[in-house]
């Protein structure tokens, strides 16, 4: 259509044109609120009072001095770490087992493993609250026939983090598994057959051939697992523990919600949100720098 | 012989995984047919002592269920379609065009994934209600028309398309529209589908934002209906909550089962080489 | 041309956004008057289906049918009074005003400090010429006073009234050879729990642990402690510490269960805990689920001391701003407080009637009480009700939170009641300065 000489200019316009829908939505519903949040993080305000008090950096200073911030930060990393193991490493390995090693039943397993993903985490949380009730749930009752009193996990530091991240993982496992499976399954079988004939162990095939060749999808799952650990983990915290015991299960997202909507400390909550974003931006930049350039794209 | 044991071990692992993952679903289903009394006192048995439809009847008499399903479906489908289209365009631009500040733009967009949702909740509520869209389905879906995750996933997959293929098509005089619909979409269809599933399911189960926007019962979504049966002060009516849960699951599960073959087929025969 | 795909799409979205923005313009007007010219008011409540949601719908329907020019729309807010307060914050910030809202007692001072509301007694006088003293005639002064904030303003009218009672699993008590009437004092309750644990291996007692300190206040103040004295936290008195330590000790030796509210109540209802101290609002769900001989008894006392239990539930606040809306709100509120409506409310929820004349009236609750013995414990102790400790000022909500944080620390055994409460008290008083 267009003349070759004008092509460069056209492309530029088109390139931006294609971004208009996304930018439109984002400007109104993400960027503007974010800048507003940034602005509010320098104020003390309760959302409805006509009086906003400028407090400079004191919201940030308060956060840095508050031991709760440290606790919440380390909780968040524990959540993410557990979810990286359960929702990234395990399904990666299992997708290899299924794509390369397993001979029969693939379709059944795929279908069944994916199912929990369609369920809401609110439902999941209520269900697990019953199933895992250490006194009255099925597991608690079984344990008791052996004379064991299970710890009350929802009130036990550490354990509460593990169980809550398992609840979130339960839902998300299937999706990550299917996506990773598709990537692993797309690797030309001949390459793997050859490697097998050469007597290379499954572990080495996985590590040296499969992971590099599926790394584009791998990165995707890695990043969404981190995002999910940060964002989706909110639901079970809200339904089951409300951040307790004594902030033992609060994550950054939950804490930001708690400050804003339980205590109406809009300024402090805003500051925490800004910090959260900055922190993860740094992580993302590191990922860009160290990982992205080593990713294998098939061209 | 060794290979057989090997397979047996694998099957054992996968069956165990399936059991662990599906147990809660079966538990929900079985409790939705129990009386409350039965649910409390007959914890182990997945088969109700006295089979009852009372929970479902209660939900259907209290709620205009078909309407609620319709609302949820309308929101989720609209959101999914728009998110896919907007993400597809942006991803195409990121991969196949060169422009100044491209990487910066991408980086900024990606970082927004890490903003706690509390940041956008109130300002967006104010925007939506200043547009007069409080208590409306449109108000629920408008802020969700674009999604970074989609851009991210589709960009990842488009990078697998050989550039030469696109350049060749351009030389042949194909329009961008034709390139997108004729080359890009077919090549990355499995990724579009998996992104679509992600969007649909997330929107289907969204519960914080609709609570803020919707007031009238006739406009409720499924996850809001579920919350009507959860109360901290009066206690959660577990069996009724399970009946609602089962009903919230039914549609996504059915959709998945219908399209499963197709979805899994596209996954396995995808032409990205 | 098709290549302008992106442009078309974005134009479509702009159109969708503007269209909906404009389309909304007309619906905005609907917020106050509906198409048929009726005055439309919003009633915000927290009543889930298990907690009176059905009755709310019934009451609203009856009212709307009786009115030619007012239409009430009920909005359900999940996550209790905290959830309602969140939504209300957003709604007011957006410039909209529901007419009547349920406000939990813990939010009394926060609500009066931050929201525009109408004094119900003044509204009664101004808008109801026929019956200007309705509130004064039909409410006991001590009950109306529950809805006065720390400055003495009448912020609303008590609506859902609950008190904590002791639920008993009589079968377990009998099995352990104990008096099925249950303990009368906390000291006795401790002995009972020990016996139950020895004889049956089950937990003796569960004390509710929701996201508030309502029942805790009852435990401590019955021992002579005061949460607030002259606007300052005084929870860490000798009596307060002793009562809290008593609870923590029961948890520590395994006779009492320390867990979340829902889990704890599940364990009571399925027979793993013999006694539970929680709100009367749970009566129906306990009754429906329990397979054993279940009963309630009044709050235990500390030996030789007076019982002081805080009122739970909520009051109704009028947040309407213009005359027409306020008048309509009053009409609806008056309807909600009629003998008939209050009786329905009690039957549907288990809340205790806030006004007089309902208990004995034939169209009221006489028959209901005769059939529901479990309600008796709650009505019997109404004379011992004190206001919910609502910390004054904007820091009030945070003060409440500090007490919740310390609850987990004390019951988890990380700190003693003395350390924990003293520390919490200092923090709160620092805030309230």
What gap in Å lies between CA A241 and CA A246, rounded to an integer? Answer: 10
With beta carbons under 8 A apart, name residues in chain B contacting C76: 217, 228
What gap in Å lies between CA C417 and CA C413, rounded to an integer? Answer: 9
Is the predicted pLDDT of residue C171 greater than 90, yes or no? yes
Nearest to C94 among B62, B126, B217 (CB): B126
Residue A172 structural domain: 66-294
Contact C12, C52 (CB under 8 A): no
The whole-number average pLDDT for the span C321-330 is 94
Chains that touch B (3 or more CB pairs under 8 A): A, C
Instruction: For C335-347, write each residue's pLDDT tens digit.
Output: 999 999 999 999 8
At residue B8, what are phi and psi to the nearest 5 degrees? -60, -45
Q: Is residue A152 part of a domain?
A: yes
Q: Which residue does chain B place closest to A187, by CA atoms?
A: B273
Smallest CA–CA distance, residue C425 to chain A, in Å, is 16
Q: Is residue A279 part of a domain?
A: yes
CATH number at residue C341: 3.40.190.10
Q: Is residue A117 part of a domain?
A: yes
pLDDT of residue C28: 41
Smallest CA–CA distance, residue B52 to chain A, in Å, is 20
User: Cβ-count burial of C170 within 10 angstroms (0-12 exposed, 13-18 middle, 19+ buried)?
Assistant: middle
A291–chain B Cβ distance below 8 A for any pair: no
All residues at 6 or more sequence positions from C102 whose CB lies less than 8 Å from its CB, including other chains: C44, C45, C46, C81, C84, C159, C160, C314, C315, C316, C317
Q: How confident is the model at residue C93 (pLDDT cuts 50, 70, 90)?
A: confident
Is the predicted pLDDT of residue C158 greater than 90, yes or no? yes
B235–chain A Cβ distance below 8 A for any pair: no
Interchain proximity B21–A118, CB inside 8 Å? no
Is the predicted pLDDT of residue B3 greater than 70, yes or no? no
- C298 and C175 together in one domain: yes
pLDDT of residue C360: 78
Is the predicted pLDDT of residue C2 greater than 80, yes or no? no
What gap in Å lies between CA C340 and CA C361, rounded to an integer? Answer: 9
- C139 and C287 together in one domain: no
A166–chain B Cβ distance below 8 A for any pair: no
Contact C386, C309 (CB under 8 A): yes
Average pLDDT, chain C: 89
Interface of B with C in 44-73 (CB under 8 A): 62
Q: Is residue B42 part of a domain?
A: no
Domain count, chain A: 1
Residue B154 structural domain: 65-237
pLDDT of residue C415: 94
Token pair, residue A36, equals 């507003």
Q: Is residue B143 part of a domain?
A: yes
CA dihedral A84, A86, A91, A92 (to 10 degrees): 40
With beta carbons under 8 A apart, name residues in chain B contacting A94: 13-14, 17
Interchain proximity A135–C257, CB inside 8 Å? yes
Q: Is residue A57 part of a domain?
A: no
Residue C335 structural domain: 34-162+312-381
- C298 and C176 together in one domain: yes
CB atoms < 10 A from the CB of B89, how many?
Answer: 26
Q: Is residue B6 part of a domain?
A: no
Q: Which residues pair with C148 in a beta bridge?
A: C154
Interchain proximity C115–A48, CB inside 8 Å? yes
Q: Which residue does chain B place closest to A229, by CA atoms?
A: B114
| Maximum average pLDDT range among B155-169, B204-218, C26-40, C317-331 | C317-331
pLDDT of residue A47: 81
3-class DSSP state of B127: helix
CB atoms < 10 A from the CB of C65, how many?
Answer: 7
Q: How confident is the model at residue A16 (pLDDT cuts 50, 70, 90)?
A: confident
């460069």: which residue's tokens? A8
CA distance readout (Å), B82 to A123, B145, B199, C430: 27, 5, 10, 51
pLDDT of residue C380: 87
Q: Which residues pair with C315 in a beta bridge?
A: C103, C158
The whole-number average pLDDT for the span A11-34 is 89
Chains that touch A (3 or more CB pairs under 8 A): B, C
Q: How confident is the model at residue C5 (pLDDT cuts 50, 70, 90)?
A: low
pLDDT of residue C205: 96
User: Cβ-count burial of A65 within 10 angstroms (0-12 exposed, 13-18 middle, 19+ buried)?
Assistant: exposed
- C300 and C336 together in one domain: no
Crossing angle of helices A215-231 and A67-84, in 10° steps, is 140
Q: How confident is the model at residue A295 (pLDDT cuts 50, 70, 90)?
A: low
Q: Is residue C174 part of a domain?
A: yes
Is the predicted pLDDT of residue C47 greater than 60, yes or no? yes
What gap in Å lies between CA C405 and CA C412, rounded to an integer? Answer: 11
The whole-number average pLDDT for the span C207-220 is 94
Nearest 5°: the CA angle A72, A74, A77 is 110
- C261 and C347 together in one domain: no
What is the distance in angstroms between the CA of the first residue and the CA of the last residue of chain C? 69
- C260 and C341 together in one domain: no
Q: Is residue B223 part of a domain?
A: yes
All residues at 6 or more sequence positions from A204 whose CB lies less than 8 Å from its CB, including other chains: A195
The whole-number average pLDDT for the span B77-89 is 95
pLDDT of residue C14: 60
Which residue in C299, C295, C298 sits closest to C169, CA to CA? C295
CA dihedral C189, C195, C200, C203 (to 10 degrees): 40
Q: Which residue does chain C place closest to A44, by CA atoms?
A: C394
Lowest mean pLDDT among B167-171, C67-71, C172-176, C357-361: C357-361
B40–chain C Cβ distance below 8 A for any pair: yes
Contact A275, A76 (CB under 8 A): no
Domain count, chain C: 2
Is the predicted pLDDT of residue B2 greater than 60, yes or no? no
What gap in Å lies between CA A258 and CA A59, rounded to an integer? Answer: 15
Is the predicted pLDDT of residue A1 greater than 50, yes or no? no
What gap in Å lies between CA C58 and CA A104, rounded to an integer? Answer: 57
Interchain proximity A22–B149, CB inside 8 Å? no
Instruction: For A230-288, write each residue's pLDDT tens digit.
Output: 888 899 999 889 998 999 999 999 999 999 888 889 999 999 999 998 988 888 888 87
Interchain proximity C263–A18, CB inside 8 Å? no
- C70 and C148 together in one domain: yes
The whole-number average pLDDT for the span C396-404 is 91
Instruction: For C224-256, write each residue's pLDDT tens digit.
Output: 999 999 889 999 999 999 999 999 999 999 999
- C330 and C405 together in one domain: no
Instruction: For B30-63, write each residue's pLDDT tens digit.
Output: 999 998 888 888 877 888 888 889 999 988 888 8
With beta carbons under 8 A apart, name residues in chain B contacting C54: 62
What gap in Å lies between CA B144 and CA A21, rounded to an integer? Answer: 12
CATH number at residue A164: 1.10.3720.10
What gap in Å lies between CA B98 and CA B100, rounded to an integer? Answer: 7
What gap in Å lies between CA A231 and CA A244, rounded to an integer? Answer: 18
With beta carbons under 8 A apart, name residues in chain B contacting A113: 14, 17-18, 21
Q: How confident is the model at residue A64 (pLDDT cuts 50, 70, 90)?
A: very high
Interchain proximity A262–C14, CB inside 8 Å? no
Nearest to C114 among A49, A130, A135 (CB): A49
Interchain proximity C20–B232, CB inside 8 Å? no
pLDDT of residue B194: 81
Interface of C with A in 269-328 (CB under 8 A): 270, 272-273
Instruction: For C122-142, write each residue's pLDDT tens digit.
Output: 999 999 989 999 999 999 888
Nearest to A241 among C82, C254, C260 (CB): C260
Q: Is residue C253 part of a domain?
A: yes
The whole-number average pLDDT for the span A129-155 is 88
Is the predicted pLDDT of residue C164 greater than 90, yes or no? yes
Is the predicted pLDDT of residue B100 greater than 90, yes or no? no
Which residue in A116, A119, A132 sits closest to A164, CA to CA? A132
Smallest CA–CA distance, residue A82 to chain B, in Å, is 17
All residues at 6 or more sequence positions from A35 whose CB lies less than 8 Å from its CB, including other chains: none
- C267 and C184 together in one domain: yes
Instruction: For C256-309, write each residue's pLDDT tens digit.
Output: 999 999 899 999 999 999 999 999 989 888 988 899 999 999 999 999 999 999
Q: Is residue C87 part of a domain?
A: yes
Lowest mean pLDDT among B138-152, B186-200, C47-61: B186-200
Domain count, chain B: 1
Is the predicted pLDDT of residue A155 greater than 60, yes or no? yes
Nearest to B228 among C27, C48, C291 (CB): C48
Is the predicted pLDDT of residue C22 greater than 70, yes or no? no
Smallest CA–CA distance, residue A227 to chain B, in Å, is 7
What is the percent of chain C with per-residue pLDDT over 90, rounded to a whole number? 67
The whole-number average pLDDT for the span A193-221 is 88
Instruction: For B127-137, write each residue's pLDDT tens digit.
Output: 998 898 988 99
Which residue in A28, C283, A80, A12 sits closest to B142, CA to CA? A28
CATH number at residue B207: 1.10.3720.10
Full DSSP string of C54-112: HHHHHHHHHHHHH-SSEEEEEEE-SSHHHHHHHHHHHHHHTT---SEEEEEGGGHHHHH
pLDDT of residue C25: 41
Mutate which: A10, A17, A33, vs B, most B CBs within 10 A: A33
Is the predicted pLDDT of residue C62 greater than 90, yes or no? yes
Full DSSP string of C392-419: -STTHHHHHHHHHHHHHHHHTTSS-HHH
With beta carbons under 8 A apart, name residues in chain A contacting B23: 131
Q: How confident is the model at residue A2 (pLDDT cuts 50, 70, 90)?
A: very low
Interchain proximity C394–A14, CB inside 8 Å? no
Is the predicted pLDDT of residue A296 greater than 70, yes or no? no
Dihedral sign for Cα atoms in the order A242, A243, A244, A246: negative
Contact C207, C215 (CB under 8 A): yes
All residues at 6 or more sequence positions from B192 whose CB lies less than 8 Å from its CB, including other chains: B84, B88, B154, B185
Nearest to B116 among A123, A224, A273 (CB): A273
Is the predicted pLDDT of residue B197 greater than 50, yes or no? yes
pLDDT of residue B157: 84
Q: Is residue A81 part of a domain?
A: yes
Q: For residues B135-167, b (16+ Cβ closer than 10 Å) or e, as one string?
A: bbbbbbbbbbbbbbbbbbbbbbbbbbbeeeebe
All residues at 6 or more sequence positions from B194 whose CB lies less than 8 Å from its CB, including other chains: A175, A178, A179, A182, B153, B263, B267
What gap in Å lies between CA B191 and CA B95, rounded to an integer? Answer: 15
Q: Pick the residue with more confidence: C45 or C34?
A: C45
What gap in Å lies between CA C261 and CA B233, rounded to an integer? Answer: 9
3-class DSSP state of A201: coil
What gap in Å lies between CA A294 and CA A232, rounded to an integer? Answer: 29
Interchain proximity B43–A256, CB inside 8 Å? no
Contact C250, C256 (CB under 8 A): yes
Chain A residues in contact with chain C using a Cβ-Cβ cutoff of 8 Å: 1, 14, 17-18, 20-21, 24-25, 28, 46-49, 129-130, 133-136, 149, 152, 154-155, 157, 240-242, 244-248, 261-265
Contact A217, A179 (CB under 8 A): yes
The whole-number average pLDDT for the span A102-113 is 86
Q: Is residue A56 part of a domain?
A: no
Smallest CA–CA distance, residue C82 to chain A, in Å, is 7
Interchain proximity C20–B133, CB inside 8 Å? yes
Average pLDDT, chain B: 86
Token pair, residue A5, equals 């000489």
Nearest to B125 among C53, C54, C94 (CB): C94
Q: For residues C136-159, b (16+ Cβ closer than 10 Å) or e, as one string?
A: eebbeeebbebbbbbeeebbbbbb
With beta carbons under 8 A apart, name residues in chain B contacting A231: 113, 116-117
The whole-number average pLDDT for the span C172-183 is 95
Average pLDDT, chain A: 88
Lowest mean pLDDT among B181-195, C64-78, C199-213: B181-195
| Maximum average pLDDT range among A69-73, A204-208, B172-176 | A69-73
């Amino acid at each position: 259509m267009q003349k070759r000489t004008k092509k460069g200019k056209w492309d530029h316009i088109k390139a931006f044109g294609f971004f208009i829908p996304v930018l439109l939505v984002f400007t109104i519903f993400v960027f503007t609120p974010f800048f507003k949040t940034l602005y509010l993080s320098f104020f003390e305000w309760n959302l409805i009072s006509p009086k906003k008090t400028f407090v400079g950096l004191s919201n940030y200073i308060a956060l840095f001095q508050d031991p709760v911030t440290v606790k919440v930060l380390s909780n968040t990393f524990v959540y993410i770490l557990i979810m990286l193991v359960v929702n990234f490493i395990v399904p990666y390995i299992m997708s290899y087992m299924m794509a390369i090693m397993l001979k029969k039943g693939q379709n059944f397993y795929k279908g069944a493993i994916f199912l929990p993903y369609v369920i809401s985490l609110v439902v999941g949380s209520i269900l697990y609250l019953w199933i895992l009730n250490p006194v009255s749930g099925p597991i608690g009752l079984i344990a008791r026939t052996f004379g064991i009193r299970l710890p009350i996990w929802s009130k036990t530091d550490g354990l509460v983090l593990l169980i809550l991240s398992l609840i979130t993982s339960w839902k998300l496992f299937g999706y990550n598994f299917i996506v990773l499976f598709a990537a692993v399954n797309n690797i030309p079988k001949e390459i793997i057959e050859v490697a097998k004939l050469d007597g290379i162990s499954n572990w080495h095939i996985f590590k040296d051939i499969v992971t590099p060749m599926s790394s584009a999808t791998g990165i995707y799952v890695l990043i969404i697992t981190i995002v999910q650990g940060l964002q989706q983990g909110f639901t079970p915290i809200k339904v089951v523990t409300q951040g307790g015991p004594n902030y033992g299960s609060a994550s950054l997202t939950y804490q930001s919600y708690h400050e804003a909507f339980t205590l109406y400390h809009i300024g402090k909550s805003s500051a925490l949100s800004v910090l959260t974003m900055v922190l993860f931006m740094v992580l993302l930049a590191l990922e860009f720098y160290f990982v992205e350039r080593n990713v294998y794209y098939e061209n | 012989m060794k290979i057989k044991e090997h397979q047996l071990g694998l099957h054992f692992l996968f069956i165990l995984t399936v059991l662990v993952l599906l147990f809660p679903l079966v538990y929900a289903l079985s409790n939705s047919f129990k009386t409350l009394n039965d649910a409390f006192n007959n914890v182990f048995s997945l088969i109700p002592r006295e089979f009852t439809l009372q929970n479902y009847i209660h939900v259907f008499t209290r709620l205009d269920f078909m309407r609620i399903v319709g609302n949820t479906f309308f929101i989720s489908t609209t959101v999914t379609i728009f998110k896919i289209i907007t993400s597809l365009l942006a991803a195409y631009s990121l991969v196949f065009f060169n422009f100044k500040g491209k990487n910066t733009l991408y980086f900024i967009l990606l970082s927004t994934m890490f903003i706690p949702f509390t940041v956008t909740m109130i300002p967006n509520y104010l925007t939506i209600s200043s547009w007069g869209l409080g208590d409306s389905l449109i108000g629920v879906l408008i802020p969700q028309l674009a999604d970074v995750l989609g851009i991210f996933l589709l960009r990842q997959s488009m990078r697998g398309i050989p550039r030469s293929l696109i350049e060749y098509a351009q030389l042949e005089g194909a329009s961008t529209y034709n390139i997108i619909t004729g080359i890009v979409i077919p090549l990355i269809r499995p990724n579009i589908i998996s992104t679509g599933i992600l969007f649909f399911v997330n929107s289907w189960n969204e519960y914080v934002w609709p609570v803020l926007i919707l007031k009238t019962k006739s406009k409720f979504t499924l996850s809001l209906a579920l919350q009507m049966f959860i109360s901290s002060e009066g206690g959660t009516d577990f069996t009724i909550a399970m009946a609602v849960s089962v009903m919230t699951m039914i549609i996504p599960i059915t959709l998945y089962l219908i399209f499963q073959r197709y979805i899994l087929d596209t996954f396995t025969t995808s032409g990205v080489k | 041309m098709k290549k302008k795909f992106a442009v078309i799409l974005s134009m479509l979205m702009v159109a969708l956004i503007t269209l909906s923005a404009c389309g909304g313009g007309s619906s905005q007007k609907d917020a106050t008057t509906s198409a048929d010219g009726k005055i439309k008011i919003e009633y915000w409540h927290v009543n889930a289906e298990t907690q009176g949601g059905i009755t709310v719908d019934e009451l609203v329907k009856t009212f709307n049918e009786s009115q030619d020019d007012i239409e009430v729309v009920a909005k359900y807010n999940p996550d209790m009074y905290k959830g309602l307060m969140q939504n209300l914050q957003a709604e007011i910030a957006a410039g909209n005003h529901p007419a009547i809202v349920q406000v939990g007692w813990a939010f009394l001072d926060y609500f009066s400090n931050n929201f525009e509301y109408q004094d119900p007694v003044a509204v009664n006088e101004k808008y109801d010429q026929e019956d200007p003293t309705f509130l004064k005639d039909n409410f006991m002064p001590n009950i109306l006073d529950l809805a006065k904030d720390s400055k003495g303003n009448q912020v609303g009218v008590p609506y859902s009234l609950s008190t904590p009672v002791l639920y008993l699993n009589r079968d377990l008590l009998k099995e352990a050879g104990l008096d099925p009437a249950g303990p009368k004092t906390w000291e006795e309750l401790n002995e009972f729990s020990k016996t139950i644990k020895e004889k049956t291996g089950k937990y003796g007692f569960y004390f509710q642990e929701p996201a508030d300190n309502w029942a805790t206040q009852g435990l401590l103040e019955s021992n002579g402690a005061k949460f607030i004295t002259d606007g300052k936290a005084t929870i860490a008195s000798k009596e307060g510490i002793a009562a809290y330590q008593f609870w923590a000790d029961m948890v520590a030796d395994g006779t009492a269960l320390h867990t979340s509210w829902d889990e704890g109540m599940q364990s009571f209802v399925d027979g793993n805990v013999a006694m539970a101290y929680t709100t009367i609002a749970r009566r129906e769900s306990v009754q429906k689920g329990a397979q054993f001989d279940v009963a309630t008894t009044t709050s235990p006392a500390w030996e030789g001391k007076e019982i002081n239990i805080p009122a739970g539930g909520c009051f109704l606040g009028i947040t309407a701003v213009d005359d027409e809306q306020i008048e309509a709100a009053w009409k609806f509120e008056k309807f909600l407080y009629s003998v008939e409506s209050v009786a329905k409310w009690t039957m549907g929820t288990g809340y205790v009637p806030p006004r007089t004349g309902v208990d004995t009236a034939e169209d009221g609750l006489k028959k209901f009480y005769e059939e529901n013995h479990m309600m008796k414990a709650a009505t019997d102790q109404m004379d011992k009700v004190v206001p919910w400790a609502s910390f004054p000022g904007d820091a009030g909500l945070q003060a409440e939170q500090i007490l919740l944080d310390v609850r987990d620390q004390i019951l988890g055994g990380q700190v003693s009641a003395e350390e924990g409460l003293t520390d919490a008290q200092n923090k709160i008083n620092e805030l309230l300065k």
